[in-house]
Amino acid sequence: MRSVGIDVGKYWLDVAQHGDPRIVRFGNDAAGISELIERLTPRSEHFVVLEATGGYEKPLLQALIQAGLAVSRVNPRQSRSFARASGQLAKTDALDAIGLADMAQCLHLRLPRYVEPQAWQSTLAAYVTRRAQLVLTIHQQQQQIAALIVPALKKSAQRTLRALKREHDDLERTITALTAPHLTPAWRSIKGLGPVVQATLLSLLPELGALSRQQIAKLVGVAPLNRDSGTLRGQRRIFGGRARVRSTLYMATLVAVRWQAEFKAFYQQLRVRGKLAKVALVACMRKLLVVLNARIRDERRSSVPIHTT
């Protein structure tokens, strides 16, 4: 097996193979990606590691998967920590590619393989992202209107705000329509899982139902992490994970602890035991995620429907 690291930039792909000091650069476009795939596929089996770069890596990921190559997309913080642990403190595109190749060699048994999302999930994720952008823009526009004192400018800003709200409403209707065919009874079994929450989890957390309770909680970033050493017993904290999923899950949990008996009782028990409100809510977030994960898993394994409450 050949371990390959690819540093992805907006315009370039820097490619390194473990044990080979040479760095080969390709363009991050259709021609460059095609040339890179041709270099990799005729040889022995490859395992490719690259970083998540906010979208610049997506065409390459798709091409690698279609070519039948094993690939893992890692968090930049994770790869940077690996480089520092290896004694590599400097940072360049070439050094990053070498570090990713070393990471592929050392951790190929532990790094999760990237699974390409289905077409409907990619489309839904794009709509969810656009809705989040609109929500932020509407909030900013409202703040700007409050600060305007010239009547003509305020009237112009209000027209812009109305147009943004119409677009937001249209997006929500589209998101609901895209989500509906994929909602099974398990998705309707918990109060708080409205259309936006369902769409976010379906598109940004496709691993639901396929991982263990510990894995799914860690993936989202709601698993308490130990800080113990010797006689020290540090406070457990959550860290990392998928921030957009976590923020959406937080809002869903606020509804669940108010209106669903199971989560309401769990939250109140934690508060009676002296847990802070935010700590209790995070614990409820984890419980909601784990319960939903289990129900989706069980639903897939059997034809017995999950009864809604």
The tens digit of pLDDT for each residue in 133-146 reads 999 999 999 999 99
Q: What is the CATH number of the domain that holds 60?
A: 3.30.420.40
Taking a C-beta distance cutoff of 8 angstroms, is the pair 15, 97 a contact?
A: yes
Shared-domain flag, residues 83 and 127: no
Give the pLDDT of residue 301.
86
Query: Is the pLDDT at 234 greater than 70, yes or no?
Result: no
Shared-domain flag, residues 198 and 167: no
Give the pLDDT of residue 274.
93
Shared-domain flag, residues 197 and 177: no
The span from the CA of 277 to the CA of 210, in Å, is 31
3-class SS at 53? Answer: coil
Q: Counting Cβ atoms within 10 Å, is residue 293 exposed (0-12), middle (13-18) or buried (19+)? A: buried
Residue 104, number of CB atoms within 10 A of its CB? 28
Q: Give the range among 57-66, 129-138, 169-178, 295-304 with minimum mean pLDDT.
A: 295-304
Per the structure, how many domains does the chain have? 3
Tell me which amino acid residue 70 is. A
Q: Which pair of tokens denotes residue 240? A: 């990392």
Domain holding 123, by residue range, is 119-182
Pick from 219, 220, 237: nearest CA to 228: 237
Q: Counting Cβ atoms within 10 Å, is residue 199 exposed (0-12), middle (13-18) or buried (19+)? A: buried
The tens digit of pLDDT for each residue in 22-61 reads 999 999 999 999 999 998 876 668 899 999 888 899 999 9
Shared-domain flag, residues 8 and 100: yes
Bridge-based pairing of strands 46-51 and 2-8 is parallel
C-alpha distances out from residue 216 to 112, 267, 270, Å:
13, 21, 22
Q: Which residue has the higher pLDDT, 8 or 40?
A: 8
Q: Which residues pair with 17 in a beta bridge?
A: 4
Q: Give the residue from 136, 161, 182 where a domain finishes.
A: 182
Shared-domain flag, residues 62 and 8: yes
Shared-domain flag, residues 129 and 211: no
Q: Is there a domain that residue 307 lies in?
A: no
Shared-domain flag, residues 173 and 193: no
Q: Is there a domain that residue 308 lies in?
A: no
Q: Give the residue from 107, 129, 153 where a domain finishes.
A: 107
Q: Give the residue from 79, 107, 135 where a domain finishes.
A: 107
Query: Is the pLDDT at 213 greater than 70, yes or no?
Result: yes
Query: Is the pLDDT at 232 greater than 70, yes or no?
Result: no
Q: Is there a domain that residue 55 lies in?
A: yes
Q: Is there a domain that residue 72 lies in?
A: yes
Shared-domain flag, residues 239 and 293: yes
Q: Give the range among 21-30, 127-136, 210-219 with minimum mean pLDDT.
A: 210-219
Supply φ then ψ for residue 306, to 5 degrees.
Answer: -90, 125
Give the pLDDT of residue 306.
52
The span from the CA of 133 to the CA of 177, in Å, is 20
Q: Is there a domain that residue 309 lies in?
A: no
What is the average pLDDT value for the chain, to the nearest integer?
A: 90
The span from the CA of 12 to the CA of 216, in Å, is 33
Share above pLDDT 90 across residues of the chain, in percent, rounded to a whole number = 66
Give the pLDDT of residue 42.
65
Shared-domain flag, residues 208 and 288: yes
Shared-domain flag, residues 203 and 170: no
- Conformational region of residue 108, where left means phi above 0, alpha means psi within -120 to 50, and beta covers everything else: alpha
pLDDT range class, residue 117, cuts 50, 70, 90: confident
What 133-138 contacts at long range (C-beta under 8 Å, 24+ apart), as own/partner pairs, is 134/164, 134/167, 134/168, 134/171, 135/168, 137/164, 138/164, 138/165, 138/168
Taking a C-beta distance cutoff of 8 angstroms, is the pair 11, 27 a contact?
A: yes
Shared-domain flag, residues 86 and 144: no
